[in-house]
Chain A
Amino acid sequence: MLELNRYLGAPIHRSDGQLWGKVEDVVVTGVSHPLVHALIGHADHRLWLITWDQVERFERTSIVLATSVEPTALEARPLEELQQAQFLLKRDVLDTQIIDVAGTRVARVSDVLLDHAHAGQLEVVGVDVGVASVLARLGLHRLGRKVPQKVVRWSDIHLTSDRGHELQLADENALVHTLNAAALKHLLAVVPAPDARQILDHLDDQTTQAVLADPTLARRLVLGSRRRFTRLQPWHRP
C-alpha cells in the first residue's frame, strides 16, 4: 500500500540522475476506481504535467522520469486542463471532508492510500481518516506510529470537495447513485446543504418520495429557508 503523503514533495529525477523538480499533486482518472493518470510536478517556479507513461520508476525515495521525457508545462491553474472524470488527489481529496457512507460518519482525509493495479498502474483504494497520518505530517512520526490508521475503503466514500462531488454526481456508477433510501437519508442529512440539494435533484421520483417522507429532511431540502420560519418547531433533537 502506498501513502500519498510520502510522495507529495518527493524529488523527481531525470533518467540521468539529475534532479528535475518535486511532486506537487497526482491526477487520477475515474470515479469508482480512480487510476493514477499523471503527476503534477513543480520545477522552475511553475507546474508541469508528467503522464504516468513518462514515469520510469515511482518509489518513495526515487521518482525517475523516462529517458528523453519533456513534461508539459501547465497554466497556473491546472483545474481548467483537467479532462472529464479527472481529479487531483491533493487538491480534491487530501484534507477534505468526506462522508463514510458505510460507517455513517463524517471524517476528514489525513492520507490517500494507493495500491498497484494491473499493467503497472496505481489505483486509489482508500483513505486514512485517523490522527496517525496527521501526526506523521506534523513531524511527530514516533507518536503517529503508536496510533492505528483508520482506513475507509474508496468504494464507501462520498467526496464533498467541489470537483469530487461534481464528478460523483455525474458518474452513474458512483456510490451516491447506488444507495438505498435509508443510506441516502443519512448522506443527505450530513453533507453540506448545497450538496444535499444537488443530490436530491439527481434522484428518481420514487427515491425522492421515499427520502422526503422523512419530515426533517423534507424541511431541510425542499422548503429551503422558508421552513426555518417555523422557529417554534420542537426543541428536542430531531
Chain B
Amino acid sequence: MSTTSAPTRTSLKLRWLPLLAVLGPGLLAGLSDDDPAGITTYSVLGANYGYQLLWVLLLSTIALVIFHNLGARMGVVTGQGLIGLIRQRFGVRAAALGLTVLVVANIGTTCAEFAGIAAGFELFGISRYISVPLAAIIVSLLVVRGSFHRVEHLFMLLATVFIAYIAAGFLSHPNWGQAARGLVVPTMPLTRDAVLIATATLGTTLAPWGLSFIQSYAVDKKLMPSDLKFERIDVITGAVLTGVIGFFVVISCAGTLHVQGVKINDAADAAKALEPLAGSLASALFALGLIGAALLAAAILPLSTAYSITEFSGGQAALDSDFKHARGFYISFGVIVTMGALIVLIPGAPLIPILVLTQVLNAVLLLPLLIFMFIIARDKSLMGEFVASKTSSAIYLVTIALITLCVGALLVLG
C-alpha cells in the first residue's frame, strides 16, 4: 500500500514560493522589448493592416519564448553572459566583432528610447530639454546607487505602466471576433510594406540586446540550475505579457485608426490620433504607456550594454558591486546613457537615419547571435547535463530558418 499522502495546502504554497523569487529576467527582458520602437511598430501594424497581421505577433512571441528561455538557461548553467561565452567558445575576434556591432546598435536603440521619452512628455507639454536629462539622471542614479533588489523592484514597478495599453485597448472598443481571427488565421497582403512591417514586428520583439540582457541578468541574479523550472515560467510569463501588450496596442489602433483610415508614423502620432476616436483618457493612457516603456528600456539598454562590455573584458558585472570593484561596468553604463540622451538633445541631429541604421544593425546581428547561441546550447563541455536535446535543437533550427527568411526579406526590401 502506498504511504504517500496528498500534499497539504501549505506544502503546495511553499513549493511555488521560489517562483516569486526567481521572477525577473524573463519579465524584464520581455517587457522592455515593448519599447517605443516596439510600440511604434505595433501601432503602425494595427493602423495600416487592422487585425489582419496579429498572427505575426503570435509567432514573434513564440520565437521570444524559445530564445529567451535558451538565453536564461545558458546564463544560469554557465554563470556567464552571452558575449563572455562567445569569447570563450569562438575566440576574441568573433566576440570583439559581435560586441562592436552590439554596442553601436545599442547606442542607437538607447537614442530611440530617449526619443520616446521626449515624444511622450511633449504630448503632455513638457519640453525634451527637461524630460530627457531628468530621465537620464533618474535611470543613472537608480543603477549606480541601487542594489540588485532595489533596481529589480523599481524596474518591475515601472513595468506595471504597461497596464495602460490594456486599458487603452478596451477603451477603443475593438472588434474582438476579428482580433481573434487575425491572431490565428495567417493571411497577409503580398505587398512590400506588409512584408516589411511583419519583419519589423519580429525584429522589434526578438532583439539582440534582449537576448544578451536576459542571459547577463540571470547571471547577475545568481540563479541556480535548480531554479530553471521556475525561470522557464518567468520567461514564458514575460514573453506572453509582451505579446499581450503588443496585441492591445495593435487592437487600440486597429479598432480606431485603421477603421477611420488614419495614417501614423510613430507611437506619439498614434496617441494623438486616438484622442478624437477613443477619447482623451485612451490617448493619455497610450502616451503614459509610451513614457513608462521608454523609461524602462532607457535603463535596461545601457545596463545590457554595460554587462556585455564587461563580460568581454572579464571584469565584474554586477549591480551589487561597488564602483571600485566594477569600474568598467559603471563607466560603460554612464557613457551609453549620456550618449543616448545627448544625441536626442542635439538640435538637428539625424535621428531618423540613426534609428534606421540601428534597425539594420539589429537585424544583421540577430542571426549570428542566434547561431552562436545554438552552437553553445549544443556544446556539452559548456552546458553539461543541460545540453540541448535533438528535439530542442530542431526547434531552434526551424526558428532560426524562419528568422533568416524574415531578416533576408528586410534587407532586400528595406
Binding site for B on A (CB under 8 A): 79, 91, 95-98, 104-110, 129, 131, 134, 137-138, 160-163, 190-195, 197, 220, 224-231, 233-238
When the two chains form the complex, which single residue of A131, A195, A225 contacts B223, counting CB atoms closer than 8 Å?
A: A225
Question: Is B315 an interface position by the 8 A CB rule?
Answer: yes
Count of residues in B whose CB is under 8 Å from the partner chain: 44
Q: Is the CB of B150 within 8 A of A97?
A: no
Q: How far is the CA of A199 from the CA of B84 in the complex (A)?
A: 22
A79 to B384, CA, bound (A): 13
Q: What is the minimal beta-carbon distance from B328 to any residue of chain A, in angstroms?
A: 11
Q: How near does chain B come to A189, taking the closest CB pair, in angstroms?
A: 9
Q: Which of A161, A194, A230, A236 contacts B77 (CB 8 A)?
A: A194
Give the nearest-CB partner of A98 in chain B. Answer: B314
Among all A-B residue pairs, the 3 with the closest Cβ atoms: A192-B79, A108-B314, A228-B21
- Which chain B residues border A107 with CB–CB below 8 Å? 314-315
> Least Cβ distance of A131 to chain B in Å?
7
CB distance B153 to A105 under 8 Å? no
Please tell me if the beta carbons of A194 and B20 are within 8 angstroms of each other in the complex: no
CA distance A224 to B315 in the complex (A): 25
- How far is A105 from B78 in the complex, measured between Cα atoms in Å? 19
Which chain B residue lies CB-closest to A139? B93
Residues of B within 8 A of A224 (CB): 18, 224, 226-227
B interface: dominant SS: helix
Known: A193-B224, A228-B22. A238 touches B320 (CB 8 A): yes
Q: Is the CB of A161 within 8 A of B88?
A: yes
Q: Cβ of A230: which chain B residues have Cβ within 8 Å of it?
A: 21
In the bound assembly, the distance between CA atoms of A235 and B219 in angstroms comes to 19
A193 near B17 with CB under 8 A, answer no
Q: Does B174 contact A (CB under 8 A)?
A: no
Whether B21 and A225, one on each chain, are in contact in the complex, defined by CB atoms closer than 8 angstroms, is yes
B residues 240-278 touching A (CB-CB < 8 Å):
none
User: Which residues of B are found within 8 Å of A193, using beta-carbon distances?
Assistant: 76, 79, 222-224
Q: Which of B91-150 contact A (CB under 8 A)?
A: 91-93, 95-96, 146-147, 149-150
A225 to B21, CA, bound (A): 7
**Docked-complex contact B314 and A97, CB < 8 angstroms:** yes
Asked if B404 is at the interface (CB within 8 A of a chain A CB), the reply is no
Q: Give the docked Cα–Cα distance between A190 and B314 (Å).
A: 12
Contacts of B11 in A (CB 8 A): none
Quick one: closest B residue to A230, CB to CB?
A: B21
B376 → A minimal CB distance (Å): 13
Q: Is A162 in contact with B384, judged by CB distance below 8 angstroms?
A: yes
| Contact assessment for A138 and B314 in the assembled complex, using a CB-CB cutoff below 8 Å | no
Q: Which residue of B lies closest to A8 (CB)?
A: B91
Q: How far does the alpha carbon of A45 sit from the alpha carbon of B315 in the complex, in Å?
A: 36
Complexed CA–CA distance, A111 and B21 (Å): 39
B382 cross-chain contacts in A, Cβ below 8 A: 162
Residues A233 and B21 in contact in the complex (CB < 8 Å), given A96-B88, A193-B222: no
Determine which of A105, A138, A227 lies in contact with B92 in the assembled complex, contact meaning CB atoms within 8 Å. A138
